[in-house]
């Protein structure tokens, strides 16, 4: 005769009966309560009973009991649809899952009304915290309602300086990119930026600052004639690379402040019959996987630590960080391919 189960699905009591243990034991095992000690055999019986019966924990009951759900909210402007920043979600999701939490992801597309409604829904579910993310590094106005819950700003910075933020170290990345060219023997190193310095875009300002510092580290003074300010697109990379190569004394290397700009620079070199890296070396920034490895030659570039940043944001929520406007910068790693030539004599 079949055991009687609840018409709404198996309960914790059903699991306890199936495993031959008490309901309290089932609860302690499933919630991995600190300090509870059970034999591996007991844990295995409980887990087998859960699988056999198809038992699911009652998330609503958990909220009533503990005040928070086993979920972390993740809301971004266009992170989920970005060709490369989606790794942020992977990192955050993996870290949440390691702690037995689910990640609820909302992609707003920059729609502030959708953002408002999504945040209200997340908060109504009593999420344990919220990751507030952007597709690219910028300073953002974080909704005040997030002061009600532990929140970390990701791949951006809180303009008000209230919430903790996790972002790439743009200055160190710009330094690393330029230093790699300098270490290869280049001394006329140009830069095509992704925005003006007046824009105050952290990526543009930071990468330029790193470029300047690297030049100064080997006793070089920044030459304004070797710097161009684009908008981060392929067309600007093409236009400004052509301009630079038409100088009376053109650069032997170009630091492009993102990979799309570098792609345009590649096309410019093909247009005028210059070889990469034999005639001019090019380095990018972003390590955009749909682009950088597929250029010919493969583009040497700086990798944005998306996955690590996603993990770190969830870590901070789990650690209960206090909102004091902390900014944590994460290292951008050099990815070497074949677009940089070592030259024997400084030029």
pLDDT tens digits along 293-342: 999 999 999 999 999 999 999 999 998 888 888 999 999 999 999 999 99
- What backbone torsions phi and psi does residue 119 show, to the nearest 5 degrees? -65, -40
Indicate if the pLDDT at residue 5 is higher than 50. Answer: no
Question: Kind of pairing, strands 165-168 and 327-330?
Answer: parallel
- Evaluate whether 162 touches 147 at the Cβ level (below 8 Å): yes
Q: In which band, very low, low, confident or very high, does the pLDDT at 85 lie, cut at 50, 70 and 90?
A: low
- Evaluate whether 205 touches 170 at the Cβ level (below 8 Å): yes
Structure confidence at residue 58 (pLDDT) = 54
Question: pTM for this structure?
Answer: 0.80
Show the domains of the chain with their CATH numbers: 12-57 (1.10.260.40), 67-168+306-332 (3.40.50.2300), 170-304 (3.40.50.2300)
The average pLDDT across 213-236 equals 97
């Amino acid at each position: 005769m079949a055991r009687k189960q609840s018409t709404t699905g198996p309960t914790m009591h059903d699991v306890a009966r199936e495993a031959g243990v008490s309901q309290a034991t089932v609860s302690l095992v499933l919630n991995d309560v600190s300090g509870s000690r059970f034999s591996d055999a007991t844990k295995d019986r409980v887990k087998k009973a859960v699988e056999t019966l198809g038992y699911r924990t009652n998330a609503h009951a958990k909220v009533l009991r503990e005040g928070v759900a086993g979920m972390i909210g993740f809301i971004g402007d266009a992170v989920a649809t970005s060709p490369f920043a989606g790794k942020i979600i992977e990192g955050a999701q993996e870290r949440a899952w390691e702690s037995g939490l689910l990640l609820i992801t909302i992609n707003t597309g920059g729609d502030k009304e959708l953002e408002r409604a999504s945040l209200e829904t997340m908060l109504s579910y009593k999420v344990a915290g919220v990751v507030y993310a952007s597709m690219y590094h910028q300073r953002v106005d974080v909704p005040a309602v997030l002061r009600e819950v532990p929140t970390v700003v990701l791949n951006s910075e809180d303009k008000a300086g209230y919430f903790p933020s996790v972002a790439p170290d743009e200055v160190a990345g710009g330094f690393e990119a330029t230093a790699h060219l300098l270490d290869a023997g280049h001394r006329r190193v140009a830069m095509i930026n992704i925005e003006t310095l007046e824009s105050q875009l952290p990526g543009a300002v930071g990468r330029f600052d790193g470029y300047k510092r690297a030049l100064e580290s080997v006793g070089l003074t920044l030459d304004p004639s070797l710097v161009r300010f684009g908008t981060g697109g392929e067309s600007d990379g093409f236009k400004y690379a052509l301009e630079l190569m038409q100088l009376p004394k053109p650069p032997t290397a170009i630091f492009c402040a993102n990979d799309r700009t570098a792609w345009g620079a590649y096309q410019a070199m093909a247009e005028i019959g210059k070889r990469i890296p034999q005639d001019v070396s090019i380095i990018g920034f972003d390590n955009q996987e749909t682009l950088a490895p597929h250029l010919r030659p493969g583009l040497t570039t700086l990798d944005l630590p998306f996955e690590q940043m996603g993990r770190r944001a969830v870590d901070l929520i789990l650690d209960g960080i206090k909102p004091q406007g902390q900014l944590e910068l994460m290292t951008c790693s050099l990815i070497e391919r074949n677009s940089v030539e070592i030259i024997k004599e400084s030029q």
